[in-house]
Chain A
């Protein structure tokens, strides 16, 4: 626990805006790699996947903040908003690469969303994240009230699950990454279940 305490003390000195800066910097760096032909022969698809991959990792990290504080006692609470908003930024970047660079026309974007279940699901997850991104500020917390705000932000659970299904569905054959991400997300959601209450209901 001493180690955790030490980390918590150290983290207190780290400003939350560094998360935004790092996210922005990383997104820009990946784009530059694509621009300068360093993402292989098919940079569009690679960039699309890279942005999506960072997005789901950050969503997982965001979901881990509460359990991490509960059990090892690691306090990342002050970074949670920044982690969530940066995750949204990467989902947005992932969508923009898909729409503008990959599929290229509005008509085709619409067709993809309607016809391909894994795109439909990814899109649903993206749409769920929009109200959360919009209300990720102090003013909204005040306006919605703590309880209302927390209720709304439970949508992240659904969004993360949709992201996992989106990934599972789009790969061909058996691939390990989407399975690991899905397991992590499901595991982190299970920590939210209040077992005492669940037992009372099912007993």
Chain B
């Protein structure tokens, strides 16, 4: 089942390691010469250039570790990720508590370079390493009555400052319709740039659904449940007027806080220009059929 979707980008498009480690330095040097604007502009045009590992690891939303973008990188160090087990329950043939290794055993790991669009109107391009969720679901056996998949993030209050402060209700939960979960684009990722997933990025295993706003791509998963009813989703519970269950990237459906028509790719410096946001984050050809006949203004 792996390789059902092929990158239109190849390995050659991934910035070589020496480059992605150095680019910040190069940018810094350019800024010193007063060329920041030119460099920012040039980068914004190369729309699908992956972000640097440093950018991906230092600009995160992971409210368990604080609400600032730099907080997760600073505070996630104490999270225990080894050993890691995932409870699979609900409408499955083989429920149980799986170790990470046993859940992934025998599956094919792939690299997928995806756009990543946050509901806050910023975006990145991330070279993920991981597995098609469909392969994992096939392994545990989905019962025919199952219509949705629910996910839950670990809660480790002692090492999670955001949990202590009750920033939002925890555990963080998310969900997908089964056809969304089975879609070839949907993956569970365990690494970025060929490196193990950093804790602030959702180690050791997280969901990646590239055509939905980033908060759907739940991090540090400890439970996967197959269910018949639509499962709860954290931001939808916190503020149902602003966050729907589907939360597909859609430039024509505005969020009350942020215009979704345009976005700014992270890494363009102080003079980065905005770019138009694409329908379904650029994956319209692949996923539009999932929502045929649905009013996306109603099911936002």
Contacts and interface: CB of A to CB of B under 8 A. Distances in A.
Interface in B245-300: 254, 256-259, 262, 264, 266-267, 269-274
A162 B238 CA distance: 24
A138 interface: no
Contacts of A37: 24, 27-28, 31, 36, 269
A191 interface: no
Contacts of B269: 37, 43
Contacts of B63: 173
Contacts of B256: 116-117
Contacts of A173: 63, 67, 167-168, 238
Interface in B194-214: none
A41 interface: yes
A42 B258 CA distance: 16
Contact of B36 (A35, A111, A116, A172): A35
Contacts of A67: none
Contacts of A39: 270
A6 interface: no
Max count, chain B CB within 10 A of own CB: residue among A102, A108, A173: A173
Contacts of A112: 259
A104 B54 CA distance: 26
Given A35-B36, A43-B269, A171-B67, A104 B274 contact: yes
Interface string A31-65: 00011110111111111000000000000000000
B165 A44 contact: no
Interface in B48-69: 51, 54-55, 58-59, 63, 67, 69
B270 A40 contact: no
Given A171-B67, A176-B165, A35 B31 contact: yes
B32 interface: yes
A174 B59 contact: no
A115 interface: yes
Interface in A141-188: 170-176
A115 B259 contact: yes
Nearest to B271: A101
A44 B270 contact: yes
A126 interface: no
Interface residues of B, number: 36
Given A108-B259, A115-B254, A171-B67, A41 B31 contact: no
A88 interface: no
Contacts of A175: 67, 167
Contacts of B58: 40-41
B256 to A, nearest CB: 7
Given A37-B24, A176-B165, 6 more contacts: A40-B59, A42-B266, A45-B122, A111-B259, A116-B258, A174-B167
13 contacts: A35-B36, A36-B31, A37-B24, A37-B36, A37-B269, A102-B264, A104-B274, A112-B259, A117-B256, A118-B257, A172-B168, A173-B168, A175-B167
Interface of B: 24, 27-28, 31-32, 36, 51, 54-55, 58-59, 63, 67, 69-70, 122, 165-168, 238, 254, 256-259, 262, 264, 266-267, 269-274
